[in-house]
């Protein structure tokens, strides 16, 4: 890899390119790289990549690369866990009817499954409820709470939701039902009046790592419950086996919820992937077989992001999240096989719906707005399926390099519109932008990178203006610009299995620790680019640099095909090197992030 700093300011806006994003090549301090190599013995490629991510010392490198289970902090340190453990254990011993109230995404499902399996193991009387996305919406729901209490439930434990459910918490008080909130989402100005709140960023506390996902929080609580049941830190073999298998669920939730893969999240994901491969839960195993992951020599975060997580999310998006939790809590047998097959089919349905909404949204963006120059896009359509608008918002945010909100309007116009937003790696804080527009919204919530909202149809136009203004303000105040951060320049000839093995020591890759993006110059097309995949949404091309020819793939970028094939002359590419495994054969290929005409 080259550390040539002459390309650092190479940010020309080129006419012929895949995206309109600026390329920012991280400057490298050669002495720092040499020092890290000398003090750690790391391969040069790893040392250079670590320095590009702000890891300069031997101690920092050890902390980053060490993913031992012993690195996980004592669960008792997580705010709310000690009190929740005591109250839940007492309820379990008293056979108090407990219900786990989960969220309908992959994080909520996996977190719910962890606590359901845990409470069954310690002998509690436990059931679970997950809201129907299409009927009840996100989070705790007052009608659902009343129904659960009418059925005799005396304790509600929320998973991956509840921190913004102020009215529902009041209702629980009125009905005399115990409410324990476990969540990780953004905390508002007021906390819910729950009996106990378990949250890594609870005001007045100082937990060292605030980026656990819902399943990560649930895992910590389950770990504490097992210890309390055993009366000591060391748990019984059955509980140890349960906790190890729960790591796989925590890993799925962590990857799917796109929280930073740093600190404890790296440990959860690293060990969770190993457990998933060696001793998966029965239902998970059936889903892995359908996605061919049972044949993988080694599981990666990408296997989860593009294989398992979309299928679990599809169940939630289409109002069947309870089947996802059942799959993750079921014993081996015919029911597990049938559930996995049905959830796999739901993913196919989700894909069809998603493509339909995405085409309509793109058409609206081009016809009614200026997707190239508007600071943000707020697109709305009648009957757009609420289960896929978040995915579409994410795809368009990546495509246009700006925040996108997709709104689904009621066909009869009698119900408020439901929306979902994404920022596409722009650095814009979506939650803060929504907060500046809260007077236009019925309700909203989420993270800096993703959020949901409900809005009266009559307020959409005014909201669009306010939202674009709020985003524009962030663009200017923070000097943000849509950009691709490139770790280093690397000739294609350097890409081999040995180099990839060294790069993989930095895994797991994901949010906060993305797979390295490299740059190549003087690239030619060895043969014309072609569209591929279902619906021909993706692109495949063979690239040549010098004597090296390598396969390149660009997911969701089939629209690059014509421009690439019509271009004459060399191009520059931004790419992620990956190992492709097919029929037991492993080879290096590149996933294209962007391309541009060579200056």
Half-sphere exposure of 11 (CA within 13 A, CB side): 14
Helix residue ranges, H only, 380-534 = 389-400, 430-435, 460-477, 497-503
Query: pLDDT digit string (tens) for 87-123?
Result: 999 999 999 999 999 999 999 999 999 999 999 999 9
Token pair listed for 166 = 């102020």
Token pair listed for 111 = 């977190």
Q: How many helices (H) and strands (E) does the chain have?
A: 20, 18
Question: CB of 220 within 8 A of CB of 75?
Answer: yes
Domains annotated for the chain, with CATH where assigned, are 5-53+487-597 (2.40.50.460), 70-343 (3.90.1640.30), 369-483 (3.10.310.30)
Tell me the three state secondary structure of residue 399. Answer: helix
pLDDT of residue 2: 47
Query: pLDDT digit string (tens) for 417-451?
Result: 999 999 987 889 999 999 999 999 998 887 788 88
pLDDT of residue 13: 38
Tell me the three state secondary structure of residue 461. Answer: helix
Pairing of strands 585-597, 22-25: unpaired
Question: CB of 575 within 8 A of CB of 591?
Answer: yes
Neighbours of 338 (CB within 10 A): 13
* Interacting residues of 15 by C-beta distance below 8 A, sequence separation 6+: 597
Counting beta carbons within 10 angstroms of the beta carbon of residue 41, is it exposed (0 to 12), middle (13 to 18) or buried (19 or more)?
Answer: exposed
User: Please, what's the largest Cα pairwise distance for the chain?
Assistant: 75
Question: CB of 569 within 8 A of CB of 598?
Answer: yes
pLDDT of residue 450: 87
Torsions phi, psi for 510 (to 5 deg): 165, -155
CA separation (Å) from 127 to 40, 86, 96, 244? 50, 19, 11, 22
Reference 526, options 583, 590, 594, 599; nearest CA is 590
Tell me the three state secondary structure of residue 389. Answer: helix
Token pair listed for 213 = 């996902």
Whole-angstrom Cα distance, residue 508 to residue 485? 19
pLDDT of residue 15: 39
Whole-angstrom Cα distance, residue 175 to residue 169? 10
Tell me the three state secondary structure of residue 161. Answer: coil
Tell me the three state secondary structure of residue 332. Answer: coil
Whole-angstrom Cα distance, residue 324 to residue 301? 20
The angle formed by the CA atoms of residues 125, 156 and 169, to the nearest 5 degrees, is 165
Whole-angstrom Cα distance, residue 532 to residue 563? 16
What parts of the chain have a pLDDT lower than 70?
1-16, 480
CA separation (Å) from 43 to 2, 209, 505? 14, 29, 10
Tell me the three state secondary structure of residue 174. Answer: helix
Neighbours of 81 (CB within 10 A): 22
């Amino acid at each position: 890899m080259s550390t040539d700093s002459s390309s650092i300011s190479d940010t020309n806006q080129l006419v012929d390119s895949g995206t309109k994003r600026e390329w920012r090549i991280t400057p490298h301090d050669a002495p720092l790289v040499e020092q890290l190599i000398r003090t750690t013995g790391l391969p040069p490629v790893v040392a250079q990549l670590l320095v590009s991510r702000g890891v300069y010392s031997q101690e920092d490198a050890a902390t980053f690369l060490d993913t031992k289970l012993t690195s996980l902090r004592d669960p008792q340190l997580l705010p709310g866990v000690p009190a929740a453990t005591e109250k839940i254990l007492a309820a379990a011993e008293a056979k108090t009817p407990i219900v786990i109230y989960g969220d309908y995404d992959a994080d909520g499902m996996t977190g719910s499954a962890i606590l359901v399996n845990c409470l069954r193991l310690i002998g509690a009387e436990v059931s679970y409820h997950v809201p129907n996305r299409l009927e009840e919406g996100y989070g705790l729901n007052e009608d659902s709470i009343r129904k659960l209490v009418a059925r005799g439930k005396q304790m509600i434990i929320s998973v991956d939701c509840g921190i913004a459910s102020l009215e529902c918490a009041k209702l629980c008080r009125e009905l005399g039902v115990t409410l324990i909130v476990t969540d990780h989402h953004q905390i508002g100005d007021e906390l819910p009046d729950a009996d106990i709140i378990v949250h890594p960023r609870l005001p007045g506390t100082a937990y060292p790592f605030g980026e656990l996902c819902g399943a990560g929080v649930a895992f910590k609580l389950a770990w504490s419950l097992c210890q309390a049941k055993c009366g000591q830190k060391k748990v019984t073999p059955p509980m140890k086996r349960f906790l190890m298998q729960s790591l796989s669920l925590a890993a799925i939730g962590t990857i799917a919820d796109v929280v930073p893969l740093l600190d404890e999240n790296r440990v959860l994901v690293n060990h969770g992937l190993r457990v998933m491969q060696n001793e998966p839960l029965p239902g998970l195993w059936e889903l892995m077989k359908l996605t061919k992951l049972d044949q993988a020599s080694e599981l990666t975060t990408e296997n989860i992001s593009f294989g398992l997580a979309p299928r679990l999310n599809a169940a939630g998006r289409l109002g069947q999240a309870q089947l996802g939790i059942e799959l993750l809590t079921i014993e081996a047998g015919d029911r597990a096989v049938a559930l996995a097959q049905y959830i796999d089919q739901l993913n196919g349905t989700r894909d069809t719906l998603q493509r339909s909404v995405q085409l309509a949204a793109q058409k609206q963006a081009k016809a009614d707005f200026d997707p190239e120059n508007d600071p943000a896009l707020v697109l709305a359509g009648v009957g757009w399926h609420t289960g896929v608008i978040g995915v579409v918002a994410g795809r368009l945010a990546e495509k246009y390099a700006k925040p996108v909100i997709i709104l689904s309007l009621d066909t009869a116009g009698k119900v408020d519109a439901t929306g979902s937003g994404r920022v596409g790696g722009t650095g814009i804080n979506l939650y803060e932008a929504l907060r500046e527009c809260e007077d236009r919204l019925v309700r909203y919530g989420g993270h800096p990178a993703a959020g949901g909202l409900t809005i009266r149809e009559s307020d959409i136009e005014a909201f669009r203006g306010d939202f674009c203004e709020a985003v524009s303000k962030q663009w200017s105040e923070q000097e943000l610009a849509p950009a691709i951060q490139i770790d280093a320049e690397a000739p294609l000839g350097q890409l081999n299995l040995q180099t990839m093995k060294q790069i993989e020591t930095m895994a797991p890759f994901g949010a906060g620790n993305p797979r390295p993006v490299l740059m190549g110059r003087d690239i030619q097309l060895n043969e014309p680019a072609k569209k591929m995949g279902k619906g021909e949404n993706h692109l495949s091309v063979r690239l040549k640099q010098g004597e090296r020819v390598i396969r390149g793939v660009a997911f969701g970028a089939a629209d690059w095909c014509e421009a690439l094939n019509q271009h004459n002359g060399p191009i520059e590419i931004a790419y992620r090197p990956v190992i492709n495994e097919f029929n037991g054969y492993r080879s290096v290929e590149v996933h294209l992030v962007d391309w541009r005409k060579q200056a």
